[in-house]
Amino acid sequence: MTDTWPDIAPAAGTPACGPPSFAPERGWWVTRHADVRTALTDPAFRVPVVDSGPPGTLAWLRASVSRFSSPPRHAERRSMVVTALAALDPDELRQEAARLTVAVLDRAGDRVDVMRELARSVPLRVLAGRLGIADPVAAGTAVAVVAAAYHPGVDVAVLRRADRAVATLLAVVPPAAPEVRANLIGLLVQACDATAGLIGAAAHHLLPLPGGDPSGAGRTAELLTEVLRLDPPVRATRRVTVSAVRLGGRDLPAGSQVLLRFDAANRDPTVFAEPAALRPGRPGAALLTFGAGERGCPGDRHALALATGVLDVLRERCRRIEAPLCHEPHPTLSVAKTLEVSVR
Ligand code: HEM
């Protein structure tokens, strides 16, 4: 067993920390920890508005969930999500995720694709089951289709498939007011790719290769916190300025498109000593991967619990198979396509 872990280098394309920078083709990038925190909490920076559509479609879903709501509606919708999550016990989620992971590994041959068999399915099945969804397996499949179309800019065929997936989900979500049901689905969609991305990144960084030390030291939850910081599944989030605002010494005009780069800010050397070092239990860990303020992730403890349940079992029973890691194409998320491990 090793006591120390190798450094984790920044993923390709991660900018260095510096003052907010502007380029016409991409808008503003915010990379310093303090500037990202300010932008997440300053009302001059708003979540971009989304268009609505007929009831029961993807566009309706996006326009109904707290994630994309503007201030007058956000607090009320967020409270629907927070109420649903308050009924779930993170420790019980962890245990159930571990139980399902053991079942998958017991059924598998000597190899398993962590992304397909575990990361993309176990967290959603556990969450959907605990939220009272009638068919957690079907819901998990439909949520993945919606998640692929959730952020603006996807083509029409993907949108049509997502419309059908929303209809599937509405058929299995418990009866309630339409907005409550939309936010229950929104919660699963938010959980989907980010939690899968975390599990994939953690399996990549934490599992030993054949012939390596059995496993490095450290509690899984603390290791995951460092993986979230150094290889965040959510690399960035978007805002638009609603008025002229000064940030980090730069003047941003009203209407500026802003990308808050968690991947860079989580490595800000003014906040994290030796930023590339994976140090479980870092004092005062202030990672930004779950956002911050009124819109910060309400499922952070749930995400960590679910990923811990899966990774506890993987660390016990699996070794990574050396292969190049490819990620799904996405502007702000980082989710491995496949990741094979050997099983014992
Ligand atoms: C590693 C996994 C996860 C990461 C990194 C993550 C990250 C984030 C971030 C950064 C935001 C805020 C986005 C912004 O301010 O623009 C957010 C929002 C949200 N997340 Fe997560 N999340 C994860 C897992 C989950 C899970 C498991 C759930 C539910 C159980 C969840 C539910 C939500 C919801 C409902 C919102 C919208 C909150 C609001 O509208 O106020 N997330 N998440």
Supply the CATH number for residue 48's domain.
1.10.630.10
Is residue 1 scored above 60 in pLDDT?
no
Q: Nearest C-alpha to atom 37 of ligand 1 is from which residue?
A: 67
Q: pLDDT (tens digit, 9 = 90+) per residue, 318-331?
A: 999 999 999 999 99
Confidence at residue 344, expressed as pLDDT on a 0 to 100 scale: 86
Residues forming beta bridges with residue 22, ordered by sequence position: 28
Q: Is the CB of 195 under 6 A from ligand 1?
A: yes
In this prediction the pTM is 0.96
Structural domains counted in the chain = 1
Question: Does residue 14 lie in a domain region?
Answer: no
pLDDT tens-place string over residues 219-269: 999 999 999 999 999 999 999 999 999 999 999 999 999 999 999 999 999
- For residue 226, the enclosing domain spans 21-272+286-343
Residue 130: inside a domain: yes
The one-letter amino acid code at 243 reads S
Average pLDDT on 121-125 reads: 97
What are the residues whose beta carbons fall under 8 Å from the beta carbon of 330, sequence distance 6 or more? 193
Q: Output the CA 250–ligand 1 centroid distance in Å.
A: 28
pLDDT at res. 224: 97
Q: Please give the C-alpha separations between residue 109 and each of 196, 234, 340, 343, in angstroms, as whole numbers.
A: 22, 32, 12, 8
User: What does the CA dihedral 330, 335, 337, 343 come to, rounded to 10 degrees?
Assistant: 180
**CB contact at 8 A, 229 and 287:** yes
27-30 and 257-261 as β-strands: parallel, antiparallel, unpaired? parallel
pLDDT tens digit string along 273-329? 999 999 998 876 699 999 999 999 999 999 999 999 999 999 999 999 999 999 999
Beta bridge partners of 317: none
Domain contains 45: yes
On the CB side of 304, CA atoms within 13 Å amount to 19
Quick check: helix, strand or coil at residue 121? coil
Domain assignment of residue 1, yes or no = no
d(CA 120, CA 196) in angstroms, rounded, equals: 5
pLDDT of residue 283: 78
- Asked, for residue 278, whether it belongs to a domain, the answer is no
Q: Would residue 7 count as lying in a domain?
A: no
Percent with pLDDT over 70 in the chain: 97
To 10 degrees, the CA torsion angle through 252, 253, 254, 256? Answer: -60
pLDDT at 293: 95
> pLDDT above 90 covers what percent of the chain?
90
Cα of 9 to ligand 1 centre, how many Å? 25
Which H or E run contains 343?
A: strand 340-343
The answer as to whether 9 is a domain residue is no
How many whole angstroms from 296 Cα to the centroid of ligand 1? 7
The string of pLDDT tens digits covering residues 4-48 is: 899 999 999 999 999 999 999 999 999 999 999 999 999 999 999
Q: Who's near 323: CB < 8 A, 6+ residues apart?
A: 340
Say if 304 falls within a structural domain: yes
